[in-house]
Structure 1
Amino acid sequence: MRSLVRILSTTKELWPSYLGIVLSSVLMSVTSLVTPFLIGRATDEVVALAGGRGGTTRTIVLIALALLAAELLNTVLTNVGGYLGDTMTARLRQILSTRYFEKLLGLPQRYFDNELSGTIIGRLSRSIAEVTNFLKSFSNNFFTMLITTVAVLVISAFYAWPLAVLLAVMFPAYMWLTARTSSNWQRLEGEKNEQVDIANGRFSEVIGQIRVVKSFVRERAELAAFDQRYGRTIALTRQQARHWHGMDTARRAVLNVAFLGIYLVIFLQTAHGVFTVGVMVLLIQLMNMARQPVMMMSFIIDSGQRAIAGSVSYFEVMDETVEERATVGSVATAVDAGPEGPQAPARTIDDHVIAFHEVDFAYEPGRPVLRDVTFHADAGERIALVGESGGGKSTLVNLLLGLYPPDAGRVTLQGQETASLPLDVLRRRVGVVFQDPSLFSGTIRENIAYGRPDATDEEVREAARRANADRFIERFPEGYEALIGERGVKLSGGQKQRVAVARAMLKDAPVLVLDEATSSLDTKSERLVQEGLEELMTARTTLIIAHRLSTISSVDRIVTLRDGRVDEIGTPEQLATSGGIYAELLTLQASNTLADRARLKAFGIDAGGADTGDPDGADLDSGGVHGQGDGADLARRS
């Protein structure tokens, strides 16, 4: 219950809506309580008039009109409360969802390494839906239920104290039995939620990589695993249902016995002339009004238990520790401080643009990836990182971007330690083109301008031209407004990569990182992308994780890594004759044996120079646009 109180306490802006709902609930209860009195009075008037013992038609009509007014007022108040409840629920969903998303954006990369994206999304949908549904139900019904119950107790005591005693015994007994139901139910609900989250996480992962699933004929296996997860929830639901409905039987039995006593008191008192027929009708209606809140309590408690179980998952995420320099919380500051956000610390440590000083790092304790790595890059230099796959090249990029902190040593950018720079400042200074272009659904223009959404159309077009992307973009009927699908599925590999290069160009960061940016492209695509990259690298300090020796040979210096340590640093000419890793690669390149070719691939080096991946991209600028399965060929339509 503390988690629900926590939600209420952190959504103070909704208190006007809460109070409006409470007020409408109070007035609804009053109008509901007036109705039995009017019907009871009308009953006595009708009986008196029919028996010739008094009563008038005029009085009966006036009572009927008063009953109509009470019912109409109750109808209006019910819908006012419903409107406030609906709008409050929507606002609450917005607040909780936005805060959840904000929290996720501020969490360190390690968190996402251990979670499936589908699980994260499923947890949000389930948790917030359950919490908002409960709060809506609670706000619309609880105060009406409470006021009605208290009023019925007071009125019952006025007419016959045994009625009040029976009600006073029934309510606590019902509440106690309900509380006995809750703890076990919540535990089982938590286990069910875990199974559903895992299943939904896998579901999202499979849909995101459906081509792989289909190509390996794993549809049945994935479906069976998915079905098995939900199958486990059935066994848990059976346990829940047995416990819940067993306890509900006991609760309803208590209710039935109590109401037997209540009705006996009312009927016998009426039969002995203590109550008039009108009072009997009044009391029966009041008792039925008392029964409804008690029955409604089961629904609210059931909804509340789901909300509590859901809010546990929500707050598990909200209680995670964010990055110390997370950028999300500093949006307003960044806007006020100009294009580079908050002012960075003025103190500089060295004169290098990029520098790694005795850096150690491990993703998992006891399994180091980098050991005592030291090297630097000066203004305008192109530095190639060479080493076996898994040797730490991409990890260096992750550390430079501040996605992980080094375990020891320090990383500096433009002379300032990255650990002391606000993350938004740090990442604005670095442009990255990854092997996976990582485009978003939407238009080509939106993807190019992702880092600078305020860029003009001319700036976007100029970036596309410099990236060799303008020709294929202009062949689309919609041009820069062409929709490219999830992850750019409607574009070929070469086209996606050129959009990614244009995106980095428009960002215009002083430091550039190329993380195997052309390794998955065919020869023609690679040539076109490489031309864009050459334009992008002009006047920038660049770190290159390359997959061709021809690219490595054109850099200013090479840093080779062996077992997570720097092995050699030097120009291509120097390292070609040093006997180290680069010299070994040159020797392997000249060999035609399968073993030597395999050794080259262990370094992520393309051994042949022929097409590697993207077999569909033979001539991208002559109209080929390749997607999954029957993905639309947008360019060809032009």
Structure 2
Amino acid sequence: MASLLRILRFTRSLTPLYVAIIVASVLTAVANLTVPFIIGRATDSVASAVGGQVATGDAVRTVLWLAAALLAVELATTVVSNVGGWFGDVMSNRLRTILSVRYYDKLLHLPQRWFDTELTGTIVARLNRSIAEISQFAKMMSNSFATMLITTAAVLGISAYYFWPLAVLLIVVFPIYVWLTSLTSVKWQRLEGEKNSQVDIASGRFAEVIGQIRVVKSFVRERGELADFSRRFRSTDGTTRAQSTHWHSMDVLRRAVLNLIFFGVYAIIFTRTVQGHFTLGEMVLLIQLMSMARQPVESMSWVIDASQRAIAGSKDYFRVMETEVDPRTAAMLAARDEEREQRTPGSAAVGTLEMAPGAPVLAFREVDFAYEDGEDVLHAIDFAVERGEKVALVGESGGGKSTIVNLLLGLYEPREGRVEVGGADTEQLPLDALRSRIGVVFQDASLFSGTIAENIAYGRPGASEEEVADAARRANADTFIRRFPGGYEQLIGERGLKLSGGQRQRIAVARAILKDAPVLVLDEATSALDTKAERQVQKGLDELMEGRTSLIIAHRLSTIASVDRIITLEDGRIDEIGTPAELASSGGIYAELLALQDAGQTKRLARFGITG
């Protein structure tokens, strides 16, 4: 229940809708309660006419008026309940929107480490399941709970008025039924959690497989993936059987107790009617009231069933919402909230990044780093890059080059040491300010579904068409873009799958060019291009790097030769730092690469991610 109350507090902006639904529920309950009285009065009128106590004509007029009153009540109930249902639908959708947007907002600002341990598909499955269960329960409860509560209270009061033992039996049945139902909850929730875990894992794998379907097909893994998917879902069959057996066994006990108590209720009503304490109309009235009281009790099982699903879903939801974000992200979010009222829609609040006089643009100061609790992958990394300098990182695959880029972007924090930008520790800088000053072209040209123009302008959503086209021309992408039927408005599919690898990479380069950040990071930016395309794009990159501070993870020795300095890495440690000319004669890693290239040792070069 605490979880559900937390949802209400979390969505307090929906209070007007909650109130409207409750008002409609109250009116519906009141209208429903008048029906037994009308029918009871009509029964007495008919019995009086049949017994000769009232003239037939008078009785006919009375029952017709009562029938008209019943019609009016039913029509009113129909209108009011549908109005309440409309508010319930709107409330449910807004609730889903609020929960979804906040969940997405949270995910966007969680630290990179959190995503390293989660499957993308599992995150999406959890979102869909949790929020669907919560919103469905909220809609059901808002449309029926108030009505059930009011009806139950009124029935207890009316029953006590006619004969107090009836009210006593009703008062007894509710806590007993709820108690018996609560006995089911602990085991039911545990089994539901087990089932949800298997479904989430299977759904996560499903999304992963669909996203890499070409790999699955090329390795003929369709049957294996299907078998694993089926195994996880089939495992939920056994859990469901145990869950259902437990639930329905308890339901038999609950209903048996309910039937026993209502046997006593009906026995009292019938006996007192035969003894003349109740008229036929009062008997009909009380029987209908008992039926109205029984409905909420019998509904308790599916109400609790839905609530248990919602509670389980809310636990998964809040488990994510309670995950701590990076303190820099928290500060950024607080600043965003403060400035939201003052900004125009679609604009972005970006913090400031001041350069300390004389400080290098970026520097690593004795940095050690480890992923999770593993061994350090970087050891005492110490170097600085001055304004306008081009520095290349060279080393074996897995040597720490991309990890350095990740630290620079604030995706992770050093275990020891400091990463500085403009003389300031990046752990003290607003993340939006830090990342807005760094343009990145990754080895994997990560594009989004949508148009080519949208992908190029991803870092500057307000860029003009001419600015987008200019960036594409400088990245040597304009020509192939204009060959598409839609040109810059061409849809490129999920992750840009409708484009070749080289085309995707050139769009990624254009995106970095358009961002026009003072610091540029090229993480093997031309790795997907053939030699001809690389030369074409490299010209744009050379222009982009002019006057900018650039950090380059080398892919080809031709690129390395044009930089100001080279930093070689071995086993996560800096081996050498110097100009290409200096390192060419030092006998270190770079000199070895040059020798391997001259000897045509392409296999050994590939160890360093170098193609010559």
TM-score range (shorter-chain normalised) is over 0.9
Which residue of structure 1 lines up, in the alignment, with residue 514 of structure 2?
A: 506
**CA distance in structure 2 between the partners assigned to 1:308 and 1:340 by the alignment:** 36
Asked if 1:114 is matched to 2:122, the reply is no
Q: Deviations over 1:153-195 (max 9, x none)?
A: 1111222222222212211111110111111101111111111
**CA distance in structure 2 between the partners assigned to 1:314 and 1:599 by the alignment:** 49
User: What displacement does 1:366 show?
Assistant: 4.4
Judge which range, 424-433 or 516-525, deviates more. Answer: 516-525
Which residue of structure 2 lines up, in the alignment, with residue 541 of structure 1?
A: 549
Give the secondary-structure state (helix, strand or coil) at the position aligned to 2:137. Answer: helix
User: What displacement does 1:344 show?
Assistant: 3.7
Asked if 1:565 is matched to 2:570, the reply is no
Asked if 1:192 is matched to 2:165, the reply is no
Give the secondary-structure state (helix, strand or coil) at the position aligned to 1:379. Answer: coil
Check conservation: 1:429, 1:509, Cα contact below 8 A: yes
Residue from 437, 442, 458 that aligns with 1:434: 442
**CA distance in structure 2 between the partners assigned to 1:443 and 1:589 by the alignment:** 40
RMSD: 1.7
**CA distance in structure 2 between the partners assigned to 1:209 and 1:343 by the alignment:** 37
Give the secondary-structure state (helix, strand or coil) at the position aligned to 1:275. Answer: coil
Question: Superposition pairs for residues 339-350 of structure 1, below 5 Å?
Answer: 341=349, 343-344=351-352, 348=356, 350=358
Give the secondary-structure state (helix, strand or coil) at the position aligned to 1:325. Answer: helix
> May I ask how many residue pairs the two structures share in their alignment?
604
Give the secondary-structure state (helix, strand or coil) at the position aligned to 2:371. Answer: strand
Check conservation: 2:350, 2:436, Cα contact below 8 A: no
User: What displacement does 1:478 show?
Assistant: 1.2
Which residue of structure 2 lines up, in the alignment, with residue 580 of structure 1?
A: 588
**CA distance in structure 2 between the partners assigned to 1:345 and 1:515 by the alignment:** 23
Which residue of structure 1 lines up, in the alignment, with residue 477 of structure 2?
A: 469
Give the secondary-structure state (helix, strand or coil) at the position aligned to 2:327. Answer: coil
Give the secondary-structure state (helix, strand or coil) at the position aligned to 1:232. Answer: helix
**CA distance in structure 2 between the partners assigned to 1:116 and 1:550 by the alignment:** 38
User: What displacement does 1:89 show?
Assistant: 0.7
**CA distance in structure 1 between the partners assigned to 2:316 and 2:205 by the alignment:** 18
**CA distance in structure 2 between the partners assigned to 1:382 and 1:216 by the alignment:** 41
Give the 3 Å change call, closer, same or farther, for CA 566–350 of structure 1 in structure 2: farther
Check conservation: 2:457, 2:514, Cα contact below 8 A: yes
Question: Superposition pairs for residues 95-110 of structure 1, below 5 Å?
Answer: 95-110=98-113
Give the secondary-structure state (helix, strand or coil) at the position aligned to 1:56. Answer: helix
Structure 1 gaps of 5+ residues are: 608-638
**CA distance in structure 2 between the partners assigned to 1:340 and 1:57 by the alignment:** 74
Check conservation: 2:377, 2:572, Cα contact below 8 A: yes
Check conservation: 1:519, 1:547, Cα contact below 8 A: yes
Q: Deviations over 1:331-353 (max 9, x none)?
A: 35677699994554657385211
Residue from 432, 437, 453 that aligns with 1:424: 432
Which residue of structure 2 lines up, in the alignment, with residue 165 of structure 1?
A: 168
Check conservation: 1:97, 1:124, Cα contact below 8 A: yes
**CA distance in structure 2 between the partners assigned to 1:340 and 1:193 by the alignment:** 37
Which residue of structure 1 lines up, in the alignment, with residue 413 of structure 2?
A: 405
Check conservation: 1:468, 1:529, Cα contact below 8 A: yes
Asked if 1:454 is matched to 2:495, the reply is no
**CA distance in structure 2 between the partners assigned to 1:537 and 1:381 by the alignment:** 9
Residue from 554, 557, 562 that aligns with 2:562: 554
Asked if 1:599 is matched to 2:604, the reply is yes
Check conservation: 1:340, 1:428, Cα contact below 8 A: no
Asked if 1:387 is matched to 2:390, the reply is no
User: What displacement does 1:479 show?
Assistant: 1.1
Asked if 1:53 is matched to 2:61, the reply is no
User: What displacement does 1:490 show?
Assistant: 0.6
Check conservation: 2:28, 2:147, Cα contact below 8 A: yes
User: What displacement does 1:538 show?
Assistant: 2.1
Give the secondary-structure state (helix, strand or coil) at the position aligned to 2:85. Answer: helix
One-letter amino acid of the structure 2 residue matched with residue 218 of structure 1: R
Q: Deviations over 1:91-116 (max 9, x none)?
A: 11111111111111111100001101
Which residue of structure 1 lines up, in the alignment, with residue 181 of structure 2?
A: 178
Q: Deviations over 1:45-98 (max 9, x none)?
A: 112123321152221111111111111111111111111111111111111111
Q: Deviations over 1:118-164 (max 9, x none)?
A: 11111111111111111111111111111111111111122222222
Give the 3 Å change call, closer, same or farther, for CA 19–332 of structure 1 in structure 2: closer
**CA distance in structure 1 between the partners assigned to 2:143 and 2:254 by the alignment:** 24
Asked if 1:68 is matched to 2:76, the reply is no
Which residue of structure 2 lines up, in the alignment, with residue 79 of structure 1?
A: 82
Check conservation: 1:349, 1:417, Cα contact below 8 A: no
Residue from 308, 311, 315 that aligns with 2:314: 311
Structure 2 gaps of 5+ residues are: none
Check conservation: 2:505, 2:528, Cα contact below 8 A: no
Seq. identity, %? 64
Judge which range, 35-44 or 328-337, deviates more. Answer: 328-337
Give the secondary-structure state (helix, strand or coil) at the position aligned to 1:371. Answer: strand
**CA distance in structure 1 between the partners assigned to 2:536 and 2:226 by the alignment:** 41
User: What displacement does 1:467 show?
Assistant: 1.0
User: What displacement does 1:273 show?
Assistant: 2.0
User: What displacement does 1:268 show?
Assistant: 1.8
Check conservation: 2:471, 2:511, Cα contact below 8 A: yes
Give the secondary-structure state (helix, strand or coil) at the position aligned to 1:539. Answer: coil
Question: Superposition pairs for residues 255-274 of structure 1, below 5 Å?
Answer: 255-274=258-277
Which residue of structure 2 lines up, in the alignment, with residue 613 of structure 1?
A: none
Q: Deviations over 1:299-332 (max 9, x none)?
A: 1100000000111100110110011111445435
Give the 3 Å change call, closer, same or farther, for CA 265–340 of structure 1 in structure 2: closer
Q: Deviations over 1:209-250 (max 9, x none)?
A: 111010000011011111111111111111110110000011
Give the secondary-structure state (helix, strand or coil) at the position aligned to 1:359. Answer: strand
User: What displacement does 1:454 show?
Assistant: 0.7
Q: Deviations over 1:242-276 (max 9, x none)?
A: 11000001111111111212122222222222221
Which residue of structure 1 lines up, in the alignment, with residue 280 of structure 2?
A: 277
**CA distance in structure 1 between the partners assigned to 2:59 and 2:369 by the alignment:** 94
Give the 3 Å change call, closer, same or farther, for CA 337–24 of structure 1 in structure 2: closer
Check conservation: 2:353, 2:433, Cα contact below 8 A: no
Check conservation: 1:333, 1:341, Cα contact below 8 A: no
Check conservation: 2:354, 2:422, Cα contact below 8 A: no
Give the 3 Å change call, closer, same or farther, for CA 123–442 of structure 1 in structure 2: same
**CA distance in structure 2 between the partners assigned to 1:340 and 1:142 by the alignment:** 43
**CA distance in structure 2 between the partners assigned to 1:515 and 1:345 by the alignment:** 23
One-letter amino acid of the structure 1 residue matched with residue 31 of structure 2: T
Residue from 199, 202, 206 that aligns with 1:203: 206
Check conservation: 2:438, 2:517, Cα contact below 8 A: yes
**CA distance in structure 2 between the partners assigned to 1:237 and 1:600 by the alignment:** 56
Check conservation: 1:334, 1:340, Cα contact below 8 A: no
**CA distance in structure 2 between the partners assigned to 1:195 and 1:310 by the alignment:** 14
